[in-house]
Amino acid sequence: GQCVAVCPTGALSEKDETGAVLRAIADPAKTVVVQVAPAVRTALGEEFGMAPGTLVTGKLAAALRRLDFDYVFDTDFAADLTIMEEASELLDRLTRHLGGDTSVKLPIITSCCPAWVNHLEKRFPDLLDYPSTARSPMQMFGSIAKSYLAEKIGVKRQEMVVVSVMPCVAKKAECAREEFAVDGNRDVDITLTTRELASLIKRANIDFHRLEDDDFDSPLGESTGAAVIFGTTGGVIEAAARSAYEFHTGETLEEVDFKALRGFDGIRSATVDFAGIDIKIGIAHGLANARVLMEEIRKGTSPYHAIEVMACPGGCIGGGGQPFHQGDESVIKARQQALYSEDAGKVIRKSHENPHIKKLYEEYLGEPLGEKPHALLHTHYMDRSGRKTK
Ligand code: SF4
């Protein structure tokens, strides 16, 4: 069909991956855990004839339960975790840099988009000290599921299969990176796209329209509004700013909507006042736009303290694994609006106020940027430019 014409390799892997998921679910020796990215819930409905921007979070959870996953969780939980680490890293680097330590590089650059990370490793191998070392929410989720959760529910790592549903094709390669495995056992075993999930639901004969709303399981299913907006351009840095502000000032941030960070221009910038320190933030979506900001860093002219980059136009809501939108920007904008309204409707809108995240640090992780987070939640980057190093 359509997909063969657009992305032949995507079509091939689509078939294989859904089969692997069905086999895992059918295997009684496996505990199969699924996580869903924020952008999926704003677009999945389109595969069932709903208008773009229809939020189907409850039906999505219900459909995954009907497909017989053992645990239905939310990548948003791990997005809150990513913010805990990334906001702490931003402040740590900022404090040391402003304190005169020039070995600490600024701007910090977000690293949750694997297409962007690949591009950075190939094209900017001289700038690998800049991206945040925080893993993406998907990978943080896998790591926590196969350690903390596995211990809690008494399942061995090898008996657990972690499936992710992502708006993204590049996530399939991300979960296969060897640094995200322990003794060859991946933290995230299988990644499906939004379209692949839709095809599974259709093949299982589930009447999506008639599903009653359901909730995600606890504890890795609880999240804040900050996590929800990860799915749109500008959302990661807005979520980070909400937490970093409070970490830095010790004061409550009353106005959580950083409107200056929102919008749709390919490159945007805004200044956020952190109790007297002006933090300059840059945002780029689309790799060509990102390259402009990276060239500034290379030349030493970058004005920013922090930069968010997403490879896809609009961020993950416009990802390559989403229902096709034929370049129609109004579809992307409707999906974006849906995420902002889900955020606005949440009681808790700052990642560090998620009670389950607090408990995870108290019970298991210790402090952000500490030893255990370093081992489980951070990563490193490699020169993949193919240039010869001495
Ligand atoms: Fe994937 Fe696109 Fe999101 Fe990057 S912006 S994580 S490539 S969907």
CA distance 80 to 123: 30
Note whether residue 216 is domain-resident. Answer: yes
With bands split at pLDDT 50, 70 and 90, how would you rate the model's confidence at 16?
Answer: low
Q: Considering only CA atoms, which of 356, 376, 310, 359 is closest in space to residue 85? A: 376
| pLDDT reported for residue 126 | 97
pLDDT in tens, 82-111: 999 999 999 999 999 989 998 999 999 999
Q: Considering only CA atoms, which of 87, 131, 101 is closest in space to residue 274? A: 87
Kindly report the protein residue whose alpha carbon is nearest to atom 4 of ligand 1. Answer: 113
**Which ipTM score applies to this complex?**
0.99
Residues 152 and 199 grouped into a single domain = yes
Bridge partner residues of 273 (DSSP): 278
Note whether residue 386 is domain-resident. Answer: no
- What proportions of the chain, in percent to the nearest 5, are helix, strand and coil? 50, 15, 35
- By DSSP bridging, strand 31-36 and strand 71-74 are parallel
Which residue has 């208008």 as its token pair? Answer: 51
Taking only Cα atoms into account, the Rg of the chain, rounded to an integer number of angstroms, comes to 20
CA distance 201 to 322: 15
pLDDT in tens, 245-265: 999 989 898 888 888 889 889
SS3 assignment, position 63: helix
Ligand 1 atom with the smallest distance to the CA of 321 is 8
pLDDT in tens, 177-219: 999 999 999 999 999 999 999 999 999 999 999 999 999 999 8
pLDDT in tens, 214-248: 999 998 988 999 999 989 999 999 999 999 999 99
Residues 131 and 176 grouped into a single domain = no
Residues 9 and 68 grouped into a single domain = yes
The reply to whether ligand 1 has any atom less than 6 angstroms from the CB of 316 is yes
Distance between Cα 332 and ligand 1 center (Å): 13
Residues 109 and 245 grouped into a single domain = yes
Over residues 314-339, mean pLDDT: 94
Mutate to test the pocket of ligand 1, among 316, 324, 325, 335 (most ligand atoms within 8 A of CB): 316
Q: Is the dihedral of CA 145, 149, 153, 155 positive or negative?
A: positive
CATH number at residue 237: 3.40.950.10
Note whether residue 170 is domain-resident. Answer: yes
Mutate to test the pocket of ligand 1, among 109, 135, 139, 171 (most ligand atoms within 8 A of CB): 171
| pLDDT reported for residue 274 | 80
Instruction: State yes or no: pLDDT of 384 exceeds 60.
Output: yes
| pLDDT reported for residue 256 | 86
Distance between Cα 366 and ligand 1 center (Å): 30
Residues 187 and 288 grouped into a single domain = no
Q: Considering only CA atoms, which of 258, 311, 316 is closest in space to residue 138? A: 316
Please give the residue range of the domain that contains residue 63: 2-77+136-223+355-377
| pLDDT reported for residue 162 | 98
Q: How many residues in the chain?
A: 390
Residues 98 and 214 grouped into a single domain = no
Phi and psi, residue 378, nearest 5°:
-115, 165
Q: Indicate the helix (H) or strand (E) that contains 147.
A: none
Q: What is the pTM for the complete model shown?
A: 0.94
Over residues 281-285, mean pLDDT: 96
DSSP 335: H
The reply to whether ligand 1 has any atom less than 6 angstroms from the CB of 168 is yes
Over residues 44-71, mean pLDDT: 97
Phi and psi, residue 73, nearest 5°:
-120, 180
SS3 assignment, position 181: strand
Distance between Cα 76 and ligand 1 center (Å): 15
The reply to whether ligand 1 has any atom less than 6 angstroms from the CB of 311 is yes
Q: Considering only CA atoms, which of 59, 336, 19 is closest in space to residue 210? A: 59
Bridge partner residues of 178 (DSSP): none
The reply to whether ligand 1 has any atom less than 6 angstroms from the CB of 219 is no
Kindly provide the b/e burial profile for residues 96-130, where b requires at least 16 CB atoms within 10 angstroms of the residue's own CB.
ebeeeeeebebbbbbbbbbbbbbbbbeebbebbeb
The reply to whether ligand 1 has any atom less than 6 angstroms from the CB of 315 is yes
Q: What is the dihedral of CA 359, 82, 230, 312, to 10 degrees?
A: -160
Amino acid at 78: A
Peptide bond into 137 cis (omega under 30): no
Q: Supply the angle between the helices 75-98 and 137-144 in degrees, to the nearest 10.
A: 110
The reply to whether ligand 1 has any atom less than 6 angstroms from the CB of 170 is yes
State the average pLDDT for the chain: 93
Task: Provide the number of structural domains found in the chain.
Answer: 2
Note whether residue 387 is domain-resident. Answer: no
Distance between Cα 205 and ligand 1 center (Å): 29
Note whether residue 390 is domain-resident. Answer: no
| pLDDT reported for residue 387 | 80
Instruction: State yes or no: pLDDT of 163 exceeds 60.
Output: yes
Note whether residue 383 is domain-resident. Answer: no
Kindly provide the b/e burial profile for residues 272-287, where b requires at least 16 CB atoms within 10 angstroms of the residue's own CB.
bebeeeebbbbbbbbb
The reply to whether ligand 1 has any atom less than 6 angstroms from the CB of 332 is no
SS3 assignment, position 267: strand
Residues 293 and 152 grouped into a single domain = no
Strand-by-strand arrangement of the 71-74 sheet: 71-74, 31-36, 160-166, 190-193
Residues 39 and 101 grouped into a single domain = no
CA distance 89 to 87: 5
Distance between Cα 314 and ligand 1 center (Å): 9
Note whether residue 258 is domain-resident. Answer: yes
Distance between Cα 182 and ligand 1 center (Å): 25
Residues 65 and 91 grouped into a single domain = no
Q: Considering only CA atoms, which of 308, 249, 239, 292 is closest in space to residue 81? A: 239
Ligand 1 atom with the smallest distance to the CA of 115 is 7
Contact 126, 104 (CB under 8 A): no
Residues 163 and 290 grouped into a single domain = no
Residues 32 and 68 grouped into a single domain = yes
Active site residues: 86, 89, 112, 132, 171, 174, 179, 316
For every residue of 292-322, DSSP letters joined together read: HHHHHHHHT----SEEEEESSTTSGGG-TTS
Residues 254 and 308 grouped into a single domain = yes
SS3 assignment, position 108: strand
- By DSSP bridging, strand 160-166 and strand 108-109 are unpaired
Note whether residue 389 is domain-resident. Answer: no
Q: What is the dihedral of CA 215, 221, 227, 232, to 10 degrees?
A: -60
Distance between Cα 309 and ligand 1 center (Å): 10
Ligand 1 atom with the smallest distance to the CA of 310 is 5
